[in-house]
Structure 1
Amino acid sequence: MCIGVPGKVILIKGDTAKIEQNGHSHWVNVSSLTEKVKKGDYLLTYQDVAINKVSAKQAKEVLKLHNK
């Protein structure tokens, strides 16, 4: 089973966003999202592709479970 992990957007450049995840930053592709992405948003990602935009509350809940 594969699990998407949320990350916080820190920079946007075209169809990519730099996100912070577990203390590390990396670029993810956001071209498949229908919602506009902005700095401070949380994205659920899998293999460097943004799957969905999630609320800060949802992201923190997932990260809490993921880090157990």
Structure 2
Amino acid sequence: MCVAYPGKIIEINGEFAKVDFGAGTIRDNILISLVNAKVGDYVLVHAGYAIQVVDEEEAKKTIEMWEEMTKELDEEQKKRDLYEAIGSGGNE
């Protein structure tokens, strides 16, 4: 199954961004060249690529749905699933 997860762009360096996915999860090196995004925008990220800009309300709804779907999982499994969805990039 392919999953994209929303995050907020907090810094841009060329074609790459630092994205905050909440709950202490910040990833570097998210490729944003496929979308027209700026700092403060929410983007859907899959496999290390921002694939779509979404508005904040839609992003928050998606995060709520993710939380509902994963409420039975322990925190470590939630992190593994999130990292699998968003792909490559360094942790902060």
Q: Normalising by the residue count of structure 2, what TM-score does the alignment of the two structures yield?
A: 0.68
Structure 2 residue aligned with 1:29? 31
After TM superposition, give the deviation of residue 3 of structure 1 in Å: 1.3
Task: Give the RMSD, CA atoms, in angstroms.
Answer: 0.9
Letter in 2 for 1:7: G
**Structure with the higher strand share, 1 or 2:** 1
Q: Which residue of 2 aligns with 1:18?
A: 18
Q: CA–CA distance in 1 between the matches of 2:21 and 2:67?
A: 12
TM-score by length of 1: 0.90
Whole-Å Cα distance in 2 between the matches of residues 41 and 53 of structure 1?
7
CA offset at residue 42 of structure 1?
A: 0.2
Aligned residues: 66
SS of equivalent to 1:40? coil
5+ residue gaps, structure 2? 69-92
How far apart, CA to CA, are the structure 1 residues paired with 2:66 and 2:3? 9
CA distance in 2, matches of 1:38, 1:2: 25
Residue 60 of structure 2 corresponds to residue 60 of structure 1: yes
SS of alignment partner, residue 31 of structure 1: coil
Counterpart for residue 39 of structure 1: 39
Bigger helix share: 2
d(CA) in 2 for partners of 1:19, 1:31: 14
Alignment gaps of 5+ in structure 1: none
* Rg comparison, structure with higher value: 2
